[in-house]
Amino acid sequence: MCGIALCIGPEADPAVFRRMLAVLAPRGEVTETRQEHGLLAGVRRLRVVDRERAVQPWVSPDERYVLCYNGEVFNHHELRAELTRLGHGFRTSGDTEVVLAAFRQWGEEAVRRLRGEYAFAVVERATGRAYLARDPLGVKPLYWSRGPGCLHVASEVKALVGHGAPISEVPPGHHGWAEHDGLVRLRPYVDLLTLGAGLPVIDDPDEAALLVRVALTDSMRVRLDTDLTVGVVLSGGLDSSLALLHAAQLHPDCVAVTVGVPDSPDVAYARRLAADLGVPHEVIELRPRDIRLADVREAIRISELTEYGDIINAVVSVPIFRRLQRLGVKVVLTGDGSDELFGGYPMYHQVGPERSRRLFLHRIRNLCRTELQRVDRASMGYGVEARVPFLDLSVVELAMRLPLDLKLRDGQEKWIVRRAFADVLPDYIRRRPKNPMSYSSGLHERARLYKPLFARLHRSFGYPLLEPVRRDFDSVLTRCGNDLDRAIADGLARPDYTVLEHARDLVGAARWNAVPVVRRLVGPRVVRRVASRP
């Protein structure tokens, strides 16, 4: 994984380019650049695959193209073998070289062959045209802005805000050319709304459970293909526990990391599972009072998120990746995406099947700016590559074909996932109900205390050049009776919370945070006895 930055055009400014790369410094370990007239290309590279030879920007053998690449393509071994048969030679064993060779062989169709989490830019040196592409779910980010005589491309919004120009995002599953005439023409190569369309519904529980197990196990396997220690973000819930179970079996050089207050459910469940599996376990014990305004500000700066709930989750996530960096862990698995795919949210079950499918598709399409953005920024902000096995395209397509009654059954969410791994999941994990991340860590209400300041902090970094902070869509949806059309219209009509809503929220958070203080003041005092001297 990397941070990429490009300035393309006759007015490309080396000083601007250096600032862009400096902002992206936390995403990697080494800075690698190529500078020529009309093209300034650079990468802050996190060395994971072929760490010594996969130097970027990567130049094609005929020197026609320059590649800046962020991500991992997990089927690069298979692609390398096919491209070798077609006459391509390789100097490295990494996926970077494979991506550019695939583009040279198949052109714009190459992205349909990539299995992974990626965003990249290929510049045609003679014309200055740039081909931009992003993975189907938007696990890895890519943004661009245009100034006079120059196109700027970068992995994060913060690298582009200094130009003062509007910032645009390359949408998930899109690709296309930024032309020399100044236009950026992008189109989808994967349509998540039609993924699995035309394929039969899988309604037999035994068949569905087998297919879920095969797909998820394979997705875990390819993401554990590394010679590095692998971390697992462990909450003790179903999804992160499955990630740890697979890691412990397929890549024993692993470590689990958990954050929460000492008596929180997450810490308790995670401790028990890590101990049962014999996996090293790092627990970041935080008291609510440990979260200060500076921590909230830093989480907003790193994450660039635009919904209040996601920002709170980022506040909780940042300490995890800070600890992983200190441990020297560069690759980590997370359980993100399972709730969206397999019915982990109540809204799916409060409406009919058709409305539920629309909600399901809406959440999947928006993961790139919610959970996945949080995971990318929080992890890469500390030079850690986060991989999300539940969002492999094969798993997403399979989930599209499962009816709702296999996702919720007998009052239990993600029923089919629990069924698929019933023989390997400890009972206490298999039966544990879903609990949102920030709540189960015990830290939500403390971070919530600072919510009225989120929008102001977000503006202070210039992030509204892409998009301002807005109300949590889940709360808007609930208020609209889970009617998606009403919720979208309501969100557009009134993007942010009112002053009164903020005040009510602040009072509730303040009351919760005051309880421990009151208990200490009015509770019985502990009398310490001092032993008398003889």
SS (H, E, C) 420-439: HCCCCCCHHHHCCCCCCHHH
User: What is the 3-state secondary structure of 312-361?
Assistant: HHHHHHHHHHHHHHHHCCCEEECCCCHHHHHCCCHHHHCCCHHHHHHHHH
DSSP label at residue 494: S
- β-sheet bridge partners, residue 307: 470
Residue 259 annotated as part of some ligand binding site:
yes
Question: Which tokens hold the place of 112?
Answer: 């349909």
Which residue has 């986060």 as its token pair?
386
Catalytic residue, chosen from 2, 7, 150, 254, is 2
Q: What's the rounded Cα separation, in Å, for the pair 172 and 117?
A: 10
Alpha helices by DSSP H, 381-472: 393-400, 404-407, 415-420, 427-430, 437-440, 444-448, 454-460
Q: Count Cβ atoms within 10 A of the Cβ of residue 478 and give its class: 0-12 exposed, 13-18 middle, 19 or more buried.
A: middle
SS3 state of residue 208:
helix
* Active site annotation includes 2: yes
Report the candidate in 391, 305, 407, 399 with the shortest Cα–Cα distance to residue 347. Answer: 407
Residue 521 CB burial class (10 angstroms; 0-12, 13-18, ≥19): exposed
Give the contacts of 515 (CB within 8 A, at least 6 positions apart): none
Strands 331-333 and 385-387 come out as parallel
- Catalytic amino acids? 2
Q: Give the residue ranges of the annotated binding site for L-glutamine.
A: 95
Task: Give the residue ranges of the annotated binding site.
Answer: 95, 259
